[in-house]
Amino acid sequence: MQTQETYNDGVIRLFLLAAIVWALIGMTVGVYIAAELYWPNMHMGFPELTFGRLRPSHTFGVIFAFGGSALIGTSFYVAQRTCHTRLAFGGLAKFVFWGWQLCCVLAMITVPFGITQSKEYAEPEWWIDILIAIVWVSYGIVFFGTIARRRIKHIYVACWYYGAFIIAVGLMHIVNNLAIPVSLTRSIPIYSGVVDAMVQWWYGHNAVAFILTAGFLGMMYYFVPRQAQQPLWSYRFSIVNFWALISVYMWAGAHHLMYTALPDWVQSVGMAFSIILIMPSWGSAANGLMTFNGVWERVKTDPAAKFMVISLVFYGASTMEGSIMADKTVNSLSHYTDWTVAHVHSGSLGWVAMITIGSLYAMAPRILGMGEMYSKKAMEIHFWLHLLGTLIYVIAMWFAGIKAGLMWRALNPDGTLMYSFLDSLIAIKSMYVIRTVGGLFILTGMAIMAWNMLLTAQKGKGSIEAIAVPVEPIAAH
C-alpha cells in the first residue's frame, strides 16, 4: 500500500514567520529614517544610522526580506494547492529558506556599514549578489519542479505570475549587478553614466513590475477567489492581462529619467508604454474586484477580504497615478519630490502590504492547524490602523511633493526664481513629522498582526496535521 502524499507546509510556516519578523524590522527602520528627516541628529553620531546608510536597509527589508519571504512562502503554498502535488525537492526548499534569510541578514547589516554599491534597490555588494543568485536559481528549481510534477494538467494563472516573477527577477538581478570585484567592500560596475542609468532603472522599474506587481498578482489570483469562495471573474481576461503586463512593463523604465541626459527617443518610448500600462493594470484590478461580485457582504464580516478589496482599489489607484506621473509634463513637477515617495508608498503600503496581509491572514490558520485566526477583532483593528496610517502617510507626502515641486518652478514677474531650495525644505518639513506618525500607525498594526499570529500558532500547536494531497484518477499527464 502506498502512503498518502501530503503537502509540505513546514517550510511555508517558516516563511510566514520570517515575513512577519522582517515586516517589523523593515518598517521600524522606515519609521526611524522618516523621523531623521525632521530630527537630523537622531543618528547620535553613528554613521551606520544616517539616512543615506539606512534607507537601503529599509527598502531591502520591506521589499526583499518581508515581500520576498511572503512571496516565496505563498508561491510554495499556491503551487502545491493548484497542482495537487507535494513540493518538489524538500531539502532544496529548506535551503531556499535559510539561504534567503542569510541573504537578507547580510544585506541589511553590510549596507549600513558602507559595504554597498549604491545602486538603488540593488545595494548589496557583489558577493551577496552571487549568493542571492544561487538561492534564486534554487528557488526556481523548487517552484518549476513542483509545476513539473503536477497532477492537474492545466497550470493556474497564479502560477504564471509567480513563474514570471521568478524568471524576470533572476534575469534582471544578474544583468543589473554585473561588476568587477575589487575587494569584499568594493566593486566597479561594468556600466557607466547614461548606460548605467538606463540599466539601473530598467532594473529598478522592473523590480516594481515583477516583484511588487507580478509576484503579488500571483498571490491575488489565488487568495482572492479563495477568500470570495467563488471562481475568478474572468479567466480569459486574466490571460490577456498577463501577456500584456509582462511585455509592456519592461519598456516603461525610462519614465524615471525624464528630461535627463537620456536620449529623447528612449524617454518618449518609456512614456508611451507607461500610459499603455494602465490597461493590463486595471484589467487585473477589475478582475480581482469583480470576483467579489455577489458576495460583497463578505467584506463587512471578513477582515482578510477587507484587506484584499482595499488592496485592489489601491492597486488601481496607484497604477493610474503612475501612468499620470510618467507623462513628461506631470513628471517635470513630480520628479525628485516627495510625490514620488507618496506614489511608491501608496503602491507598497496600499497594494503590496495589504494583499500580503490579507493573504497571510487567509493562509496562516490553514497551515497552523486552526480553523481561523486567534482574534478577529485584532484583524479588524489592524485593518483600520493600516488604512489610516497609509492615508496619513500618502496625503502628507503628496502635499510635500506638490508644494516643493511648485516652489522649485515658481518665478517672479521679472523671471527670476521666487524661492531658494531651502525655502522649499522649510515649507514641507512639518509633513515629515506627519508622515512619521502615519508610519507609526502602520507599524503598530503589524505588531498586532504578529501578536495575533503568535497566539494562533500557539493555540494550533497540537493540532497541526499534514494535509493530504487530493489524488484524483483524472490525474496523470
Partner 1 sequence: MKLPYKYFEAIEKRAWLLGVLTAIFVSFGGLAEIVPLFAAANAVKAPEGVKPYSAIRLAGFETYVKSGCYTCHSQMIRHLSFETQRYGLVSTADESVYDRPMQWGSKRTGPDLARIGGKYSDEWQRAHLMDPRSVVPESNMPKYDWLSHKPINVKNLQGSMRAMQTLGTPYSDEEIAAAAAAVAGKTQMDALIAYLQGLGIDNKVQGAEPAHEADKL
Only one of the segments 9-17, 182-190, 445-453, 465-473 lies at the binding site for partner 1 (rule: CB under 8 A); that segment is 182-190
Binding of partner 1 at residue 366 (CB under 8 A)? no
Q: How many whole angstroms separate alpha carbon 381 and alpha carbon 361?
A: 13
Which phi and psi angles does 186 have, rounded to 5°? -150, 140
Choose the binding region for partner 1 from 67-75, 241-249, 293-301, 376-384 (rule: CB under 8 A): 241-249
CA distance 414 to 7: 73
Q: Of the two residues 133 and 250, which places its CB atom closer to partner 1 in the complex? A: 250
Residue 118 sits in the site that holds partner 1 (CB under 8 A): yes
Minimum distance between the CB of residue 169 and partner 1, rounded to whole angstroms? 10
Query: Closer to partner 1 at the Cβ: 56 or 225?
Result: 56
Euclidean distance between CA atoms 52 and 135, whole angstroms: 28
DSSP string, 184-235: TTEEEES--HHHHHHHHHHHHHHHIIIIIIIIHHHHHHHHHHHHHTS--S-H
Residue closer to partner 1 by CB (options 120, 372) is 120
Cβ closer to partner 1: 248 or 308?
248
Which span sits near partner 1 by CB under 8 A: 69-77, 162-170, 357-365, 465-473? 162-170
Q: Cβ 359 to partner 1, closest distance in Å?
A: 22
* Nearer to partner 1 (CB atom), residue 1 or residue 422: 422
Closer to partner 1 by Cβ: residue 20 or 349: 349
Q: Which is nearer to partner 1, 185 or 458 (CB)?
A: 185
Query: What phi and psi, each to the nearest 5 degrees, are found at residue 116?
Result: -150, 145
> In angstroms, rounded to a whole number, what is the distance separating the alpha carbons of residues 102 and 137?
15
Does residue 247 bind partner 1 (CB under 8 A)?
yes
Does position 475 interact with partner 1 (CB under 8 A)? The reply is no
Nearer to partner 1, 7 or 251 (CB): 251
Q: Which of 24, 92, 250, 455 binds partner 1 (CB under 8 A)?
A: 250
Interface pick for partner 1 out of 229, 409, 430, 468 (rule CB under 8 A): 409
Please list every residue from 196 through 215 that binds partner 1, using CB under 8 A: 196-200, 202, 206, 210
CA distance 142 to 121: 25
Q: Which is nearer to partner 1, 34 or 357 (CB)?
A: 34
Environment class of residue 453 by beta-carbon count within 10 Å: exposed (0-12), middle (13-18) or buried (19+)? buried
- Shortest reach from residue 383's CB to partner 1, in Å: 30
The DSSP letter of residue 347 is I
Residue 429 and residue 39 in contact, taking contact as beta carbons nearer than 8 Å: no
Residue 155 binds partner 1, judged by CB under 8 A? yes
Query: Mind giving me the DSSP string for 28-97?
Result: HHHHHHHHHTTSGGGGTT-GGGSHHHHHHHHHIIIIIIIIHHHHHHHHHHHHHHHHTSPPS-HHHHHHHH
Whole-angstrom Cα distance, residue 8 to residue 80?
8
Find the binding residues for partner 1 in span 411-450 (CB under 8 A): 411, 415-417, 421-422, 425-426, 429, 432
Q: Which stretch binds partner 1 (CB under 8 A): 68-76, 215-223, 258-266, 352-360?
A: 258-266
Q: Is 262 in the site for partner 1 (CB under 8 A)?
A: yes
Please list every residue from 38 through 57 that binds partner 1, using CB under 8 A. Answer: 38, 40-41, 43, 45, 47, 50-53, 55-56
Contact status: 372 vs partner 1 (CB under 8 A): no
Asked whether 356 and 341 are in contact (CB, 8 A), the reply is: no
Nearer of residues 303 and 401 to partner 1, judged by Cβ = 401
Under rule CB under 8 A, residue 29 binds partner 1: no
Tell me which residues in 303-362 interact with partner 1 (CB under 8 A). Answer: 332, 335-338, 340-341
Size of the site for partner 1 (CB under 8 A): 100
Span of 24-32, 148-156, 281-289, 302-310 interacting with partner 1 by CB under 8 A: 148-156
C-alpha cell, 88: 518538489
To partner 1, the closest distance from the beta carbon of 415 in angstroms equals: 8
* Cell numbers for 419: 524661492
Task: Using the structure block, give the residue that is written with the C-alpha cell 519614465.
Answer: 255
> Cα–chain-centroid distance for residue 401?
23
Q: Which is nearer to partner 1, 309 or 397 (CB)?
A: 397
Rounded to whole angstroms, what are the CA distances from 312 to 10, 70, 291, 292? 30, 18, 11, 11
Q: Please, which residues have CB within 8 angstroms of residue 329's CB and are 6 or more apart in sequence? A: none
Alpha-carbon distances, residue 115 vs 111, 182, 196, 455 (angstroms): 5, 12, 20, 38
> Should residue 234 be labelled a site residue for partner 1 when binding is judged by CB under 8 A?
no
- In the complex, least distance from residue 412 CB atom to partner 1, rounded to whole angstroms: 11
